Amino acid sequence: MSTNSTLSNEIAELVRGEILDQRYREGERLPSERDLAVRFKASRGAVREALSQLEQIGLIDIQPGGARVQPLQSASIAVLGPLMARGESPDPVLVQQFLQTFGALAALSARVAVQSANQG
């Protein structure tokens, strides 16, 4: 892992925490890449990578003109662990999404195991 990737992961974790702590609220624009680069003493590339990570989990939406915070309910279940680590009660929709995903994976795993056992 490159230093840039490590730094971008750290930036993503810090900004994710600030979003979960509601320092940046739904619909609010995040600081510019340039401002975040200065704040974190990082390259704009590292900041851009961090913001991309946050967009991939649905916490922000990046558009021309900046990144805006998305509703927490639209985020992926990847935020469930960090949210609970903050002592927050998770949104019931996030928990339901997690349980549905986990249930589907468990069912698929069981089906594959049965098929493997029947073939062997």
> Would you say 24 and 40 are in contact if contact means Cβ atoms under 8 Å apart?
no
> pLDDT value at position 1?
44
Structure token pair of residue 95: 């928990």
d(CA 46, CA 6): 9
Q: Which residues of the chain have pLDDT under 50?
A: 1
The 10s digit of each residue's pLDDT in 84-103 is 677 666 667 666 766 776 67
d(CA 24, CA 15): 9
* pLDDT of amino acid 109: 81
Rg, the chain, Cα only: 18
Global confidence as pTM: 0.69
Fold of 3-119: Arc Repressor Mutant, subunit A (1.10.10)
Contact 30, 68 (CB under 8 A): yes
Token pair for residue 84?
């609970």
Query: What are the residue boundaries of the structural domains of the chain, listed by start?
Result: 3-119
| Cα(23)–Cα(19) distance, integer angstroms | 6
